[in-house]
Structure 1
């Protein structure tokens, strides 16, 4: 009998290893298809099979999956990359496998189209306009009213997202986005959006079920780099109900009733306002937080869905889990970083992950790529978890030497 294989398109330093390990635990043979498998160090470390293929080329992926079917029973195909989820849906339909609706994914990944669909369904969203040039950006910002948030209409991880409080900042960031510095994978289009102020929440869903609601904080403006995240968020019953209602309305409006999704919102004076819906499993340690807080392994349950097995989304326990990201405050050369082992040894610390080695060049991008690592802690209460996390982070130190001193 041919081994059952799970095809993974690309990967990531956070969720990639989780998917590979969960697949192995389910008795599957994970195979990663990647344009550059060497970028994922966990593949060699865990002995995961990897094949080089252009993952932006649907025909190349079809040929490779067809070739693999001669040696394996392909149980499912999935990815933790935003821009490949529509491709996953197309491959699943072609090979008669469970998967997401590619049309729904494509519409959701276009932030302008997403906001149109949400607004038409009565879901509260910030005021927004689409712009293709500097004149349209300024006109949109004037109509909405400063401050505004400028972001690429297609993208993820806060890349290219900035708060603009005046016309100078607006012109500066417009020049960055449209002047050739930002990497576009589609036609350059800018979303100009009302700055929604208020507490930030992320809602993790699977199918039509809300699994957990967390809260998060950002680093200093004008960029939106996550500093920490906590599950579950301390909410009143009314706040919880309203966030759940809005989240389920988002899924219906966008046709996302299959698989995982993450809904990001702010609580403004008028209540929960949806900032963004991501049609995939969240990154940034959130799957680990949900597992620690609720006992639900989102990665494993997603794979079960992908291979057509019955899921179990029942909450098994209730704890508070939080992650704090390690983010440098300057560019330069990382001379040293230490304290990770001591932090990991503290009671209540669930995981410490460092991405960087000494002598690494640090060039901040003002998005998720700025993270040098993270610490995750868990306990029975919000206050205790925060205290554990702070003690652990205080044990980790590093030194970044400015480039000018080299």
Structure 2
């Protein structure tokens, strides 16, 4: 059997998509169809720049949209399989493997969820959601590289919960002894307890969601954490307690600390003022959600309101926290209908001219 591979370049953002104008994706009520129907508007947004010089659509997003539209078509490249005896052949179009594609991305998300579920320890787990206040959201939108700091702050929060009590006990013993004072070298690594030989090592998986149920920009992280951790000093597995109030304040402290130590904000006086205001505005710490039990539903049926169903289902929660890492923000099954023609709907807002009581 012969094989002919006809590929296109990976980067399509330099030029418009070379597909035929008559080509339209299958499925009118799909994300791919909506992208194709509004492709002219998407190109217009991509070519429009903000006052700061940035495009309104990032290069990565524009590439993913183009690949998503062409997924399963010969315009994205194809492979020809031909029988050397009879001459019959079949054409297999290439897939896009895009995060915006409702078919390719779902397959990858399920594979990632299965890999993470296999890594999970055979014990109870806790699903922890760590959010950031509205005052900090625009900062992460302006510089998306700062989203990596959320992982560091989340990791340090869990490590502090596992090692905080042990660390305080050791500090108390040191104060009682009359040891000579010595200068403590400033650590280069942002990861707490990294160089502690007797540290407790918790097991957890962190994923980032950059939007909420209303699809607005709302970066927050989901942590699937085991309720046991490994104590390197005693070489034993110990139970991990999740104090709700402490997690809130620890998350607040760790997040503001890594932001203060970042190169772009370390010398910014305005951020120092903002940091002080956040400590005053949120005396109980930033909002978190950490239910005692994991929801008893499948990964495909998981919704944001299903936190408090009572049973342990690691696979379901792993599927939930990884669902948006490699798939579009909305599934095709949730799109009821799509009308290409624009419509103007009159909106009546009643106003009270005067009122007498």
TM-score (norm 2): 0.24
Structure with bigger gyration radius: 2
More strand by share: 1
Where relative contact order (Cα < 8 A, 6+ residues apart) is larger, the structure is 2
